Amino acid sequence: MRTVLILAVLALSACEDPSLGIGANINSGGVSVSPVLSGRVGGVGVAVSP
């Protein structure tokens, strides 16, 4: 988890339009929510979710 956080911060600092969102999944086991960091790097959309 710590490695993902470090990579997310590095990717976010390189992004042109950084944003933080929430990803939600609903299934028979319940609801799970996770943070999503997204932006554009070199004109390509990038999203990171732990």
Q: What are the pLDDT digits (tens) for 17-44?
A: 778 888 888 999 899 998 887 888 778 8
Q: Which domain holds residue 18?
A: 2-48
> pLDDT band at residue 14, thresholds of 50, 70 and 90?
low
* DSSP SS3 for 45: strand
Task: Give residue 3's Cα distance to chain centre.
Answer: 13
**pTM attached to this predicted model:** 0.51
Please list the alpha-helical segments (H only) found in 1-50: 2-14
Euclidean distance between CA atoms 50 and 45, whole angstroms:
17
Residues contacting residue 3 through CB under 8 Å, at least 6 positions apart: none
Q: How many domains does the chain have?
A: 1
